[in-house]
């Protein structure tokens, strides 16, 4: 007698999945391209390849990659502290990791601007050594780092919890030093989660708007992000131009995420996770 599953059959489940993804993801994304196709080739190039728009691409994707890379380092460190040590206020620190999720992005942007402005708590100290954060590209990186940290911590933390400290003790008992334990034992185990956290943090940063516009300064060719370009075109009723820029961002993001996933697959294969 065949074992009955508590879930619907494959055909019904697959049909619902395709319908749901089409309704939520595929149809809205296809609308972006359909609206873009109303432009002629010259109009499309003019909309997506002007110097101002190209400068925003460089800032948006460059700052997102830098912020995601920073979050990988400090996200892994934070996850390590939360899983390997007991200290007073640990639950509070753990809760603060999710703070960027709960905080409205506009509030985050205003707060960061106030803190890192030249008369702010941190900005006044940095200004004394000639470092300006608010209203510069560096401010964009700070904002994107702020909103992306939880993605790395929350993807790496469960893996470290499942790994346990016993494997480290076993490596140490066999004569491995701390670097060898990390490189040979810990890193291969957490590497897929690290890459996943990096990809999530990067994807979140690329589309970020609210927390960036306040601290960026929005100076054309200097600190103007691509989402602001899109909003500006929408406010000017240039819907086709806005969707054209959005389509370019979508394609570039897909290529970069595909490359990240390909690197993850190659790394897993090299480290022995994939046979």
Lowest mean pLDDT among 71-80, 162-171, 264-273: 264-273
- Indicate whether 201 pLDDT > 90: yes
> What is the Cα 273 distance to its own chain's centre?
24
Q: Which run of H or of E encompasses 157?
A: helix 137-163
Q: What is the pLDDT averaged over residues 228-257?
A: 91
pLDDT given for residue 65 in this prediction? 94
Query: Tokens 């101002």 label which residue?
Result: 52
Q: Which domains does the chain have, with CATH numbers?
A: 39-271 (1.10.3720.10)
For residues 225 and 60, the answer to whether their CB atoms sit within 8 Å is yes
Q: What is the dihedral of CA 69, 73, 76, 80, to 10 degrees?
A: -170
pLDDT given for residue 140 in this prediction? 94
Of the pLDDT bands very low, low, confident and very high (cuts 50, 70, 90), residue 275 is very low
Of the pLDDT bands very low, low, confident and very high (cuts 50, 70, 90), residue 126 is very high
Q: What is the mean pLDDT of the chain?
A: 87
pLDDT given for residue 54 in this prediction? 94
Q: What is the pLDDT averaged over residues 236-241?
A: 92
Q: What is the pLDDT averaged over residues 228-251?
A: 92
The tens digit of pLDDT for each residue in 56-97 reads: 999 999 999 999 999 999 999 999 999 988 889 899 999 999
- Indicate whether 170 pLDDT > 90: no
């Amino acid at each position: 007698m065949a074992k009955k599953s508590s879930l619907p059959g494959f055909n019904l489940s697959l049909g619902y999945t395709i319908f749901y993804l089409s309704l939520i993801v595929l149809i809205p994304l296809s609308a972006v391209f359909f609206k873009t196709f109303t432009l002629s080739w010259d109009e499309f190039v003019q909309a997506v390849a002007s110097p101002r728009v190209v400068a925003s691409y460089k800032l948006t994707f460059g700052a997102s990659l830098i912020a995601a890379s920073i979050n990988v380092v400090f996200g892994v460190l934070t996850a390590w502290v939360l899983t390997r040590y007991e200290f007073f206020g640990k639950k509070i620190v753990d809760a603060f990791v999710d703070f960027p999720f709960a905080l409205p992005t506009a509030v985050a942007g205003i707060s960061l601007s106030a803190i890192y402005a030249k008369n702010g708590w941190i900005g006044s100290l940095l200004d004394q050594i000639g470092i300006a954060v608010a209203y510069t590209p560096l401010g964009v990186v700070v904002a994107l780092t702020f909103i992306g940290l939880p993605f790395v911590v929350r993807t790496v933390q469960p893996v470290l919890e499942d790994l346990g400290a016993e494997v480290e003790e076993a490596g140490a008992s066999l004569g491995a030093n701390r670097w060898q334990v990390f490189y040979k034992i810990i890193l291969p185990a957490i590497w897929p989660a690290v890459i996943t956290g990096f990809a999530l943090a990067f994807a979140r940063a690329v589309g970020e708007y609210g927390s960036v516009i306040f601290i960026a300064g929005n100076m054309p060719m200097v600190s103007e992000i691509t989402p602001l370009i899109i909003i500006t075109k929408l406010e000017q009723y240039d819907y086709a131009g806005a969707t054209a820029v959005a389509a370019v961002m979508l394609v570039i993001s897909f290529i970069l995420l595909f490359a990240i996933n390909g690197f993850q697959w190659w790394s897993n294969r090299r480290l022995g996770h994939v046979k």
